[in-house]
Amino acid sequence: MENHLTSEDKKVSIKDLSKHVDSKIEIEGWVYNRRGSGKISFVQFRDGSGFTQVIFEEDKVESDIWEVIGTLSPETSVKVVGTVSKHPKKDEYEIQGESIVVLSISEEYPIGNKDHGVEFLFKNRDLYLRSKTPWASLRIRDQVFRSVTNFFFEEGFTRTDTPVFQPTSCEDTTELFEVDYFGTPMYLTQSGQFYSEAAIMGLGKVYDFGPVFRAEKSKTRNHLTEFWMMDAEMAFYNQEMNEDLQERMVKRILKDALENMKEELAILERDTTILEKCANEEFIRLKHFEAKKLLEDNEFEVDYKDDMTTDEEIWLGNHFQIPVFIEDYPFEVKAFYMKSYVDERGMKRAKCADLIAPEEAREIIGGSQREDEYETLKSELLARDYPLEEYEWYLNIRKYGSVVHSGFGLGLERMVKWISGEHHIREAIPFPRTLVLNRP
Ligand code: 4AD
What CATH number has the domain bearing residue 389? 3.30.930.10
Q: Please check whether residue 64 lies inside any domain of the structure.
A: yes
- Region 355-362 average pLDDT: 97
Q: Are residues 45 and 93 in the same domain?
A: yes
As to burial, measured by CB atoms within 10 angstroms (0-12 exposed, 13-18 middle, 19+ buried), residue 386 is middle
Q: Are residues 198 and 248 in the same domain?
A: yes
Please, which pLDDT band fits residue 238 given cuts at 50, 70 and 90? very high
Q: Please check whether residue 5 lies inside any domain of the structure.
A: no
What's the pLDDT score for residue 87?
A: 87
Look at residue 8 and tell me whether its pLDDT is greater than 90.
Answer: no
Q: Are residues 343 and 246 in the same domain?
A: yes
Q: Please check whether residue 67 lies inside any domain of the structure.
A: yes
Q: Are residues 129 and 76 in the same domain?
A: no
Q: Are residues 159 and 243 in the same domain?
A: yes
186-204 tens-digit pLDDT: 999 999 999 999 999 999 9
Q: Are residues 19 and 137 in the same domain?
A: no
CATH number at residue 69: 2.40.50.140
Q: Are residues 177 and 88 in the same domain?
A: no
This prediction has a pTM of 0.96
Look at residue 316 and tell me whether its pLDDT is greater than 80.
Answer: yes
Q: Please check whether residue 20 lies inside any domain of the structure.
A: yes
Q: Are residues 80 and 181 in the same domain?
A: no
Binding-site residues, ligand 1, Cβ < 6 A: 170-171, 190-191, 193, 214, 216, 223-224, 227, 229, 231, 363-367, 407-409, 411, 413-414
Q: Are residues 299 and 190 in the same domain?
A: yes
Q: Are residues 241 and 211 in the same domain?
A: yes
What's the pLDDT score for residue 395?
A: 96
Look at residue 330 and tell me whether its pLDDT is greater than 90.
Answer: yes
Ligand 1 atom at shortest distance from the alpha carbon of 170: 8
How many domains does the chain contain in total?
2
377-414 tens-digit pLDDT: 999 999 999 999 999 999 999 999 999 999 999 999 99
Q: Are residues 190 and 331 in the same domain?
A: yes
Nearest CA to ligand 1 atom 23: 411
Q: Are residues 397 and 358 in the same domain?
A: yes
Nearest CA to ligand 1 atom 2: 366
From the CA of 305, how far away is ligand 1's center (Å)?
21
Domain range for residue 326?
Answer: 125-428
106-124 tens-digit pLDDT: 999 999 878 889 889 999 9
Q: Please check whether residue 337 lies inside any domain of the structure.
A: yes
Ligand 1 atom at shortest distance from the alpha carbon of 224: 26
